[in-house]
Amino acid sequence: MMYKLGLIGHPIGHSLSPWIHQQFLDLAELDGEYKLYEGDRYALPGVLKHLKEIGIDGFNVTVPYKQVIVDYLDEIDSDAEILSAVNTVVNIDGKWKGYSTDGEGYVRSLIEPYPNLLNRETSVLVLGAGGAARGIYRALIGQGVDTIDIANRSQDKAKDLLSLRLGEVKSRVLSYQQAEEHLAEYDLIVQTTSVGMKPNVEDQVIQLDNIRNDAVVSDIVYQPIMTQLLRDASKRGANIHHGHAMLLYQGQLAFEKWTGKNLAVAHLVDKLENKLR
């Protein structure tokens, strides 16, 4: 069988997903293609009609369609529904089912290098309260951690995230200043905002003066690979985790849903890093 896969979004010209999924197809020794279906918001119905017609086996969904895609699905996974965002669609006997693989992909990418990090005693600080933070928050709860505090510029948005009641965990809403003051409490700090992303590579959402050197600082920004925040963490002797690993593992999870193949992809993290340099 020839897997027909792809990505819808706008703009997606620089997406690494075709490269990533070609690696996966090769690893799995499967025949297939992963194409970019670029469109603007108005073209979406046309693009989706085309994907139906060619009988696409599965596709990823990115900005700005992660929410609007829900209207075109036959079914939606309960997690994706709670998060009201879909980034992966699977064709199951002609019916389209939507999933969100961001959060679980993130957790997989983190557990690979830090297998003992997430447990009943782990305290996490999430920086940011947007869509990415939501998925990560949900997936971290699934790992049974003790505490997940949320720091965000807009306190209301952080409170909204907590009011979704995504699961049982201790949580507080903090300002960035409070987060800086409490920093020594955390085993893991996850940066989910766009702060520090190219071209604003000098920006750093909080200062890390109080960080413990056994903590892990994780930044989901992958352009650049080494953000200012990660540089700072590294300088202070803390552990770091790069954003491109999440990109790889959310792809791995999508690929698993499309093909049933659960691939070992750890060796591709460095290869992807080289692509990004």
**Catalytic annotation, residues:** 66
Are 248 and 269 spatial neighbours (Cβ–Cβ below 8 Å)?
yes
Q: Which of residues 214-253 bind ligand ATR (CB under 6 A)?
A: none
**Region near ligand ATR per CB under 6 A, out of 140-148, 159-167, 187-195, 254-262:** 187-195
Closest approach of ligand ATR to the CB of residue 243, in Å: 11
Closest approach of ligand ATR to the CB of residue 100, in Å: 11
Q: Is 175 a binder of ligand ATR (CB under 6 A)?
A: no
Q: Is 101 a binder of ligand ATR (CB under 6 A)?
A: no
Q: Which one among 193, 218, 227, 259 touches ligand ATR, defined by CB under 6 A?
A: 193
Residue 167 is assigned to a ligand binding site? no
Q: Is 207 a binder of ligand ATR (CB under 6 A)?
A: no
Pick 119 or 154: Cβ nearer ligand ATR: 154
Residue nearest to ligand ATR (CB): 130
Q: Which one among 105, 128, 224, 243 touches ligand ATR, defined by CB under 6 A?
A: 128
String of DSSP letters for 46-114: HHHHHHHHTT--EEEE-TT-TTGGGGG-SEE-HHHHHHT---EEEEETTEEEEE--HHHHHHHHHHTT-
Are 193 and 130 spatial neighbours (Cβ–Cβ below 8 Å)?
yes
Residue 99 one-letter amino acid: Y
Q: Where are the beta strands (DSSP E) in the chain?
A: 2-9, 31-38, 58-61, 75-76, 88-92, 95-99, 123-127, 147-151, 173-174, 188-191, 216-219, 239-241
Closest approach of ligand ATR to the CB of residue 262, in Å: 27
Q: Give the bridge partners for 58, in sequence order.
A: 5, 90
Q: Which one among 101, 192, 250, 252 touches ligand ATR, defined by CB under 6 A?
A: 192
Which DSSP symbol is given to 19? H
Residue 178 is assigned to a ligand binding site? no
Nearest Cα to Cα of residue 264 among 272, 256, 276, 275: 256
Q: Give the 3-state secondary structure of residue 9.
A: strand
Which DSSP symbol is given to 185? G
Which DSSP symbol is given to 170? B
Residue 16 is assigned to a ligand binding site? yes
Residue 79 is assigned to a ligand binding site? no
Pick 90 or 133: Cβ nearer ligand ATR: 133
**Region near ligand ATR per CB under 6 A, out of 54-62, 75-83, 167-175, 189-197:** 189-197
Q: Give the 3-state secondary structure of residue 167.
A: coil
209 burial type by CB count under 10 A (0-12 exposed, 13-18 middle, 19+ buried): exposed
Closest approach of ligand ATR to the CB of residue 158, in Å: 8
Closest approach of ligand ATR to the CB of residue 217, in Å: 17
Q: What is the per-residue binding string for ligand ATR in 132-171, x denoting contact by CB under 6 A?
A: xx------------------xxx--x--------------
38 burial type by CB count under 10 A (0-12 exposed, 13-18 middle, 19+ buried): middle
Binding footprint of ligand ATR on the chain (CB under 6 A)? 128-133, 152-154, 157, 192-195, 205
